[in-house]
Amino acid sequence: MELGEESPQHVRQVLLFFVFLGGSLVCSETRRYSVAEETETGSFIANVVKDIGSGVEDLAVRGARVIFDDYKSYLWLDPQTGNLLLNEELDREALCDLTEPCILHFQVLLENPLQFFQAELWVKDINDHTPTFLDKDILLKISEGTAPGTSFQMESAQDLDVGKNGVQNYTLSPNPHFHLKLQHSDKGRKYPELVLDQSLDREKEPEIRLTLTALDGGSPPRSGTAVVRVLVLDINDNAPKFERPVYEVQVPENSPLDALVIKVSATDLDAGINGELTYSFSHVSKDTRKTFEIHPISGEVHLKALLDFELVQSYTINIQAIDGGSLSGKSAILVRVVDVNDNPPEIVITSLTSPIPENSSPEMVVAVFSLRDQDSGDNGKMVCSIQDHLPFLLKPTFKNFYTLVTERPLDRETITEYNVTITVTDLGTPRLKTQHNITLLVSDVNDNAPAFTQTSYTLFLRENNSPALHIGSVSATDRDAGANAQVTYSLLPPHDPQLPLASLVSINADNGHLFALRALDFEALQAFEFGVGATDRGSPALSSQALVRVQVLDANDNSPFVLYPLQNGSAPCTELVPRAAEPGYLVSKVVAVDADSGQNAWLSYQLLRATEPGLFGVWAHNGEVRTARLLGERDAAKHRLVVLVKDNGEPALSASVTLHVLLVEGFSQPYLPLPEAAAEQAQADPLTVYLVIALASVSSLFLFSVLAFIAVRLCRRSRAAWAGGCSVPEGHFPGHLVDVSGTGTLSQSYQYEVCLTGGSGTSEFKFLKPVIPSLPPQNPEKEESHTFLNGFGFN
Q: For the segment 399-422, what is each residue's pLDDT rounded down to a tens digit?
A: 889 999 998 888 888 888 999 999
Name the residue with higher pLDDT: 686 or 709: 709
SS3 content of the chain, % helix, strand, coil (to 5): 10, 40, 50
- Averaged pLDDT, 784-790: 38
Does residue 26 have a pLDDT over 70?
Answer: no
Looking at residue 678, its amino acid is A
DSSP per-residue string spanning 451-470: EES-SEEEEEEESSPPTTEE
- Averaged pLDDT, 705-733: 59
Residues contacting 457, CB < 8 A, separation 6+: 472, 474, 546, 547, 548, 549
Measured distance CA(73)–CA(384) in Å, rounded: 27
Name the residue with higher pLDDT: 460 or 119: 460
Give the residue from 171, 66, 168 showing the smallest Cα distance to 121: 66
- Averaged pLDDT, 176-201: 84
**Residue 195 and residue 149 in contact, taking contact as beta carbons nearer than 8 Å:** yes
CB-count exposure of residue 570 (10 Å: 0-12, 13-18, 19+) = exposed
* 740: confidence class by pLDDT, cuts 50, 70, 90: very low
Does residue 765 have a pLDDT over 60?
Answer: no
Residues contacting 662, CB < 8 A, separation 6+: 574, 575, 576, 577, 637, 638, 639
Q: Which own/partner contact pairs does 416-419 have at CB distance under 8 Å and 24+ positions apart?
A: 416/441, 416/442, 417/441, 417/442, 418/390, 418/391, 418/392, 418/442
pLDDT of residue 530: 93
Give the residue from 675, 697, 661 showing the smallest Cα distance to 775: 675
DSSP per-residue string spanning 540-569: S--EEEEEEEEEEEP-S----EEEES--SS
* 722: confidence class by pLDDT, cuts 50, 70, 90: very low
Residue 79 three-state SS: coil
pLDDT of residue 217: 78
DSSP, res 245:
S
pLDDT of residue 581: 87
* 764: confidence class by pLDDT, cuts 50, 70, 90: very low
Residue 265 three-state SS: coil
Give CA separation, 242 vs 247, 267, 277, 649, in Å: 10, 6, 11, 133
Measured distance CA(122)–CA(119) in Å, rounded: 10
**Residue 542 and residue 448 in contact, taking contact as beta carbons nearer than 8 Å:** yes
Q: What is the largest CA-CA distance in the chain?
A: 205
Cα end-to-end distance, the chain, whole Å: 130
Residues 7-18 as b or e (16 or more Cβ within 10 Å = b): eeeeeeebeebe
pLDDT of residue 317: 93
Q: For the segment 422-445, what is each residue's pLDDT rounded down to a tens digit?
A: 999 988 888 889 999 999 999 888
Residue 678 three-state SS: helix
pLDDT of residue 774: 34
Q: For the segment 584-609, what is each residue's pLDDT rounded down to a tens digit?
A: 999 899 999 988 888 888 999 999 89
pLDDT of residue 571: 59
- Averaged pLDDT, 78-105: 80
- Give the mean pLDDT of the chain: 79
- Averaged pLDDT, 201-206: 80
Q: For the segment 329-361, what is each residue's pLDDT rounded down to a tens digit?
A: 999 999 999 988 888 999 999 889 889 898 888
Measured distance CA(543)–CA(478) in Å, rounded: 10
pLDDT of residue 548: 94
**Residue 792 and residue 678 in contact, taking contact as beta carbons nearer than 8 Å:** yes
pLDDT of residue 28: 58
Give CA separation, 467 vs 500, 512, 522, 629, in Å: 15, 18, 15, 56
pLDDT of residue 459: 93
**Residue 158 and residue 132 in contact, taking contact as beta carbons nearer than 8 Å:** yes
Residues contacting 405, CB < 8 A, separation 6+: 22, 362, 363, 364, 365, 366, 392, 393, 395
Which phi and psi angles does 145 have, rounded to 5°? Answer: -90, 5
Measured distance CA(252)–CA(383) in Å, rounded: 25
Residues 25-56 as b or e (16 or more Cβ within 10 Å = b): eebeeebebebebebeeeeebbebbebbebeb
Give the gyration radius of the chain's Cα atoms.
64
Choose the weakest-confidence range: 18-27, 90-99, 129-138, 758-767: 758-767
pLDDT of residue 787: 36
Measured distance CA(62)–CA(27) in Å, rounded: 16
- Averaged pLDDT, 374-392: 89
**Residue 145 and residue 155 in contact, taking contact as beta carbons nearer than 8 Å:** no
Helices (H), 211-353: 286-291
* 233: confidence class by pLDDT, cuts 50, 70, 90: confident
Q: For the segment 312-328, what is each residue's pLDDT rounded down to a tens digit?
A: 989 999 999 998 878 89
- Averaged pLDDT, 492-521: 90
DSSP per-residue string spanning 469-510: EEEEE--EE-SS-GGGG-EEEEEPPPSSTT--HHHHEEE-TT
Measured distance CA(281)–CA(296) in Å, rounded: 9
Which residues is 217 bridged to in the sheet? none
Name the residue with higher pLDDT: 50 or 339: 339
Q: For the segment 95-151, what is each residue's pLDDT rounded down to a tens digit?
A: 787 777 888 888 887 878 787 888 888 887 777 777 888 888 888 888 878 889 888
- Averaged pLDDT, 181-189: 77
| pTM given for the model | 0.44
pLDDT of residue 6: 37
pLDDT of residue 438: 92
- Averaged pLDDT, 72-97: 79
pLDDT of residue 568: 66
Choose the weakest-confidence range: 85-89, 173-177, 377-381, 542-546: 85-89
Looking at residue 208, its amino acid is I
pLDDT of residue 384: 93
pLDDT of residue 666: 65
Residue 681 three-state SS: helix
